[in-house]
Amino acid sequence: MTARRRRHIGSHLLLIAFSALMLYPVVWWIGASLKTTAELGSPSLFPAVPQWSNFTEGWFAIPKFSFTHFYLNTFKLILGVLLTTLVSTSLVAYAFARLDFPLRNFWFAIVLVTLMLPSQVTLVPQYVLFHTFGWVNTYWPFYMPHALAGGIGGSFFIYLLVQFIRGIPRELDESAKMDGCTQFGIYWRIVLPLTKPALVTVFIYCFLWNWDDFFGQMIYINSVDKYTVQLALRMFIDTQSASAWGQLLAMSLVSIVPAVVVFLSAQRYFVEGIATTGIKG
């Protein structure tokens, strides 16, 4: 065995060891979701008798509502946010990347500055504004900021798309103009299809960040019938006095399935979007 081969084997063994270390909490999580409350303190990863009933009982544990209702609420919120985000950020990014207008660089710099602005700074003014509009306990506080290219990650998405669009040859725009295409036509027919990898990247980030946005949902949503999955998980502690930990862990495990499915199904476009944006930027 050559020294180079030994180094390869050693590096692979080291990577496997680190991977096992990183995956251990997930394995424990899966095992704990199949245990009774009394078994959670045991050192074994998996119980002798798996409690599959934790999943069925946890699904219907909240009085008057099942997790089907909370999942529908979550997807209703997420789909609206995704649609408004993709439309607004792509339009703004196209304007910054392709159009010439007064103070364009200044306004783009303002967008980049907002990347460093913590969301907690604008929380109170936003809440007062949305309360004045009567939007508290609705999903409008999530839809409208994203419709205006704001919301969670809005500035980052604009920057990401601008960098990608700048890498698209302008000759395509000129050819489209010669064929009588308008600016919106160039955006819709030329630029938007070519930015598919970057748009998928925005889609994944937006989905994951808003799916996990417990704090924002807790601030603006008050009624149980409008609760999302993240808020419903909190109710296990409130309604069952923190006793049904197996059901709580089972439902929290189920809650990450959509995020994992979305990431794995779009992973190829995600890597391509990040890589090409970095090269062309």
pLDDT tens digit sequence for 205-216: 999 999 989 999
| pLDDT of 165 over the 70 cut | yes
Domains of the chain, with CATH numbers? 3-57 (no CATH), 59-280 (1.10.3720.10)
With bands split at pLDDT 50, 70 and 90, how would you rate the model's confidence at 115?
A: confident
Q: Specify the pLDDT at position 281.
A: 41
| pLDDT of 132 over the 90 cut | yes
pTM of full prediction above 0.75: yes
| pLDDT of 2 over the 60 cut | yes
| pLDDT of 280 over the 90 cut | no
Q: Which residue intervals of 135-195 are DSSP H helices?
A: 140-147, 154-166, 171-178, 183-185, 192-194
The more confident residue out of 57 and 152 is 57
Q: Taking every pair of C-alpha atoms in the chain, what is the biggest distance, in angstroms? A: 74
With bands split at pLDDT 50, 70 and 90, how would you rate the model's confidence at 38?
A: confident
Average pLDDT, the chain: 88
| pLDDT of 233 over the 70 cut | yes
Query: Alpha carbon 277 to chain centroid distance?
Result: 19
Instruction: Kindly give, in sequence order, each residue whose CB lies less than 8 Å from that of residue 186, ignoring residues fewer than 6 positions away.
Output: 98, 173, 176, 177
